[in-house]
Amino acid sequence: MGEFDLIARYFTRPARPDGAVALGVGDDCALLAPTPGMQLAISSDMLVEGRHFFADVDPDALGHKALAVNLSDLAACGARPLAFTLALSLPRVDEAWLEGFSRGMWALADAHGCELVGGDTTQGPLNICITVFGEVPPGQALLRSGARPGDDIYVSGNLGDARLALEALLGHTPLPADVLARARQRLERPTPRVALGLALRGVASSAMDVSDGLLGDLSHILKASGVGARIDTHITSKLIAASAYPSSAGALFDAELIRQCTLAGGDDYELAFTAPPTQRDAVAAASQASSTPVTRIGTVLVTPGLQLVDAQGQPVDKRYASFDHFR
């Protein structure tokens, strides 16, 4: 199968006539016609074998995740997904792999009305680069720079399960099979919080998605906003779903592993965001409207830096380093 047959078979579908895509796959460029007056939100993520995923990962899950991590960036800005491009470097043409990968990708794309409009395929070490486009009314994008002292700090959904699965898959931590299976779903099939991001427009003062670990990502908000924060670790520690499974009860996890996974785990693809206390009802309404649980985990402070406190309000001294590709 040649390059163009491959694109035609796995990565080409007719554009929907009512969408923002004026011209899809097959010419030198795709043509997008955003709603007049809207801004275009753009994000790009590159996934590398051995770095972001295991060589033997289910290709369906990989197709899902490659798009999910990009949609998560749109969610963090409160942008509505429109379209994406896919650039793919493949060691060889493996039809079973392409079939699975494209299936996982299309399923998530369809769920969000996000159309594949173009891209590139080449031979080389497995590498997936997706660039995603969404739209947002001018001035309404959720940015990292809007957090103000006194704001509440929230996170959506669960934290730490993806990292827990990774630790188990790497052989660092034993896990019961059912716990691993569920945690692995979180690692391999993250849920981009697109509906929550849209519902938080005009409500949240700042937002970003948690991809490298809660504290590291939160520190980007704090730096961009020129503020500090206090985080209640007894609350964040409860956000790891696995600890609630009956088979995980008791000694399975120590408190330190849970803190590591929830505070600096990475691969969560939840939204961390801030909002003034006057918006608590609006945050609850956004959570309900988007069917996405959110938890208040701390407060924005005037003093720069991140303070971690335990259930008694006492400082937690340990530092939790976030993921960095070159450290």
Site residues for a second copy, window 259-318 (CB under 8 A)?
none
Residue 212 annotated as lining a ligand binding site: yes
Residue 323 annotated as lining a ligand binding site: yes
The one among 14, 17, 18, 36 contacting a second copy by CB under 8 A = 36
C-alpha closest to that of 66 among 99, 91, 25, 102:
102
Residue 2 contacts a second copy per CB under 8 A = yes
Residue 80 annotated as lining a ligand binding site: no
Choose between 36 and 313: whose C-beta lies nearer to a second copy: 36
Shortest distance (Å) from residue 28 CB to a second copy: 4
Choose between 146 and 179: whose C-beta lies nearer to a second copy: 146
Residue indicated by tokens 């060889």: 92
Residue 195 contacts a second copy per CB under 8 A = no
In the region spanning residues 134 to 163, those forming contacts with a second copy, defined by CB under 8 A, are 134, 136, 138, 141, 143-145
The one among 61, 67, 88, 196 contacting a second copy by CB under 8 A = 88
In the region spanning residues 106 to 125, those forming contacts with a second copy, defined by CB under 8 A, are 117-125
Maximal CA-CA distance, the chain: 64
Read off the amino acid at residue 19.
G
Binding mask 40-79 for a second copy (x = CB under 8 A): xxxxxxxxxxxxx--------------------xx-xx-x
- Output the six-digit token pair for 122: 């080449």
Q: What is the DSSP string of 233-294?
A: HHHHGGG-GGGGSGGG-GGGS-HHHHHHHHHH-----EEEEEE-GGGHHHHHHHHHHTT--E
Rg, C-alpha atoms of the chain: 20
In the region spanning residues 223 to 252, those forming contacts with a second copy, defined by CB under 8 A, are 224
Give the bridge partners for 122, in sequence order. 89
Residue 267 annotated as lining a ligand binding site: yes
C-alpha span between 5 and 1 (Å, rounded): 6
- Beta strand 115-123 with 80-90 is parallel
Choose between 86 and 162: whose C-beta lies nearer to a second copy: 86
Per the annotation, binding residues are 28, 43-45, 52, 73, 119-120, 144, 209, 211-212, 267, 323
